[in-house]
Amino acid sequence: MAVIEVAASTVWQSVRRSAMLVAVACGGVACGQDGGAGNEPPPVGMIEVRGGGDNVPERFSSDLWIHGDHAYTGTWGGFARTGVQGDVVKIWRLDATGAPVLADSVKIAAVGTVSDLQVSEDGALLVVSAERGSGGGMYLYELTDAEHPVPLGSAIVGQAGIHTVTLATIAGVRYAFAARNPGPTASAADDPSLLIYDLHDPRQPALVARKPVPRAYGIHDTFVRDGIAFVFAWNTGVIVYDVGNGIRGGSAAAPVEVSRIVTAENAVAGGPAAHNGWWFDNPVTGERRYLFVGQEGPGSIGSSSSGDIHVLDVSDLTSPREVAFFHRDGAGTHNFWMDEARQVLYAAYYNGGVVALDVSGTLEGDLSSRLLSELKPGGEGDTYTWGVQLANGSLYAIDMLSGLWQLAPLQ
């Protein structure tokens, strides 16, 4: 396990920036029609490397979560890298500059991929999803010592595994929204499902709701805000549930469907493939008008990917409609994060690296002119970025090939 020292990283950054930086910027003007309607011009500058990188050589990396001065990253094991599976959580200390330094790791038995993780807002709980093995499921850890998580409880679903898990507090109770993969049999018990767990006692997570999803791959991810859960269910589309909002009288224990929509295929092989999303709470306009949906098409680790960002107008949650899209030739989107105050969406784009989009104003049609900046943090041939997160004034990116990066976001 490599540890990046600050002094060495600083020198290395200069070399990497001059040799491998791939970026574009808009130079302080709006980057698309109808942009800038929030009375502020879009941020300027370029995404740049600040630290980290090339720090997980023995495994493929998966997701990330930053909380305070620590980061947690997963590992992927669809196939082995250097003979090892993706069965560990990496724990990173963020130094005074925000650069990641490996502090420890936690191994999970009988799994091949640690696919997702999140820390609760109070920093007390780490939740992890795992798959590819008999130990597939959800794992909970206590974080009194942020660098040394202590196991608390788990919810094991077996070989099917759980692909993602999302924490949300509803009516004062903490819940985990888990995406259960299709199981190995054709029985209803093995159907892909949204599983909702009550975590008031994280030592014994209690399953309070199960919503099966058709086997058009199944459920992949969930975004929860203000008692509304958006379920990204691949070729079934996006399903909207009231889980405590009141629009349909639903609750976390008894979700009620509000609506559903199948996003456009946009000529991407594999269909709509609704993968993930973000409901934009725009503090500039006061609107919650847009839902950004990621489409994951076919790809090959390290070399290719496909899939667009689709924009839905959900100002009427009972009748969402698709209004815009963003496409990059030769690369497809994966997970993303928003700087809502600056009206910027940051998207991981696999072999395309990290992309920043201006999402201010009215969004219609092709948003290709809204591109603000892009960066391949590992350079050509060493970039396959899984996810991004804004924290502590930096943009962190986890790359399947080149590890955990600290980047400078737009200003």
Check residue 10 and give its pLDDT: 30
pLDDT of residue 338: 99
**What's residue 38's pLDDT?**
53
pLDDT, averaged in runs of 10, over the chain (411 residues): 29 33 38 50 90 99 99 97 96 99 98 99 99 98 99 98 99 98 94 98 99 96 99 99 98 99 98 99 98 99 98 99 98 99 98 99 98 98 99 99 99 93
CATH of domain 6-408: 2.130.10.10
Going from N- to C-terminal start, the domains of the chain cover: 6-408
CA–CA separation, 397 and 346 (whole Å) = 10
